[in-house]
Amino acid sequence: MDIREFTKGHTKIFFSDMDKLNISHDNAYPTASENVDSMIKLVERLVEKGYAYEKLRSVYFDISRLDDYGVLSNVDLAKVRHSKTVDQDDYEKDSPVDFTLLKRSTLAELKKGIYFKTRWGNVRPGWHLECAALSMKYLAGSFDIYISGSDIIFPHCENVMAIGKAATGKNPANYWLASELVMMEGKKMSRSANNFFTVSDLEEKGYSGREIRYFLLSSHYRKPLSFSFGALDTACNTIKRLNSFIQRLIRFTPGDGYTDTDQLIYDVRRGFTEAMDDDFSISGALACVFEFVRKTNIPLAGKQLDIKQRDMILDTMKDINSVLRVMNFEEETLSKDAARLMEKRKKARTAGDWERSDLLRKELSAMGIIVYDTPEGMIWTLQ
């Protein structure tokens, strides 16, 4: 299959999943195959500076030239299996721990046209080189944040850092963030282990992109995330609680004002920001949000908030959601049939006909409307 056709299908799925998970798009999505010239120029630079060498038409990075190689992953090269750094290739090199920048194309690859012509021969770029070259071309020789999975800190991130330092004399990134993995029954969720679910798989089981997003962001990025449908259901219920709070604010009955509103807003804004500034401490940030919702529910239920205070609270939740991106601020509406059932249930409760009230609640639930009975009356939200 043509490589462009193969990757085109996966790229389409990737962007579709991005949209479902409500992830902002980046300014550019460069492909490795369209930037080989930048990779070859980077290798030429490394060879000229003495950090890379050619052997039997492949080009390798000489890690002995960097005194601090291993500083990112704290790896002890004396204890590392050679295959970890050389990808179990059969190429000759000065040291088994040196890694490949340009790998000479095999006969099969040459027949398929998978090669690029260089002064060293017909080659294809290595993974570490691709990442380093694209970063340096589209960002800078030194940029802010490099994000990866924890399973590729070594050798990949370590090698990208090595290439950047050798080429520019500077660390290519100020911060290296390594996200832990999604686990399933104690094992890494992966295609090779056949223990994974795609976003589409989960959608077919009834989970929305926002619910999947909340599940993924609810745990600190440096802690492994255990996947289970129970955890996904918890995420669903949490979003329902947040959206129910939003809808109650939208449909609220104004009062004379609540004296502690400004303090509540100040506390949640400060607490959320400080937690996120502390290495993205999401658990602390979410705790502030839930405490804010709990405390705000008291004057909301007591019809104490005035219109200005309600609007300030909604604006605060919107600002928080600009980070979380899981809440819905569109006003929910009932169909005529649902509104009629709600009115019938209200009359049944007023008359003390609890049996009919329960039957009407079930009818509304079948229509996707969840009804809560509270001291201030019936509250509903869409399922």
Angle among Cα 276, 277, 282 to the nearest 5 degrees reads 20
CA distances from 215 to 79, 180, 190, 278 (A): 37, 14, 18, 20
Task: Kindly give the residue spans of alpha helices, DSSP state H, lying in the chain.
Answer: 3-20, 36-48, 82-86, 107-112, 127-138, 158-168, 199-204, 209-217, 229-250, 261-277, 282-301, 307-324, 336-350, 354-366
CA dist., res. 201 & res. 248, Å (int): 32
- Packed helices 158-168 and 36-48: angle between N→C axes, nearest 10 degrees: 60
Residue 91 has a pLDDT of 52
pLDDT of residue 84: 52
For residues 358 and 320, is the Cβ–Cβ distance under 8 A?
no
Interatomic CA distance for residues 234 and 371, integer angstroms = 19
Considering only CA atoms, which of 328, 340, 345 is closest in space to residue 382? 328
Report the DSSP pairing between strands 143-149 and 173-179. parallel
What's the rounded Cα separation, in Å, for the pair 318 and 223?
A: 27
- Average confidence (pLDDT) per 10 residues, the chain, 383 residues: 88 97 94 95 97 96 94 84 51 80 95 93 96 95 94 96 97 96 92 92 96 96 96 96 94 95 98 97 98 97 96 98 97 89 91 92 89 80 78
The confidence score (pLDDT) of residue 380 equals 83
Residue 322 amino acid letter: S
CA 53 to chain CA centroid, Å, is: 38
pLDDT at 88: 46
Give, to the nearest 10 degrees, the angle between helix 307-324 and helix 282-301. 160
Separation of alpha carbons 146 and 104, rounded Å: 29
Peptide bond into 375 cis (omega under 30): no
| Nearest Cα to Cα of residue 219 among 47, 70, 269, 228 | 228
- For 31-163, strand residue ranges (E) read 52-55, 58-61, 99-104, 116-118, 121-125, 143-149
C-alpha 102 chain-centroid distance: 31
- For residue 91, count other CB atoms closer than 10 A to its CB: 15
Q: Which amino acid is at 379?
A: I
Cα angle at 135 between 130 and 140, to 5 degrees? 145
- Are 66 and 162 spatial neighbours (Cβ–Cβ below 8 Å)? yes
Q: Which amino acid is at 132?
A: A
Alpha-carbon distance of 166 to 271, in angstroms, equals 41
E strand or H helix at 377, and its extent? strand 377-382
Amino acid letter, residue 65: R
Q: Which residue type occupies 6?
A: F
Residue with tokens 């509406």: 333
What is the spatial distance between Cα 84 and Cα 153, in angstroms, rounded to a whole number? 12
pTM: 0.86
**In 10 A of CB 313, how many CB atoms?**
25
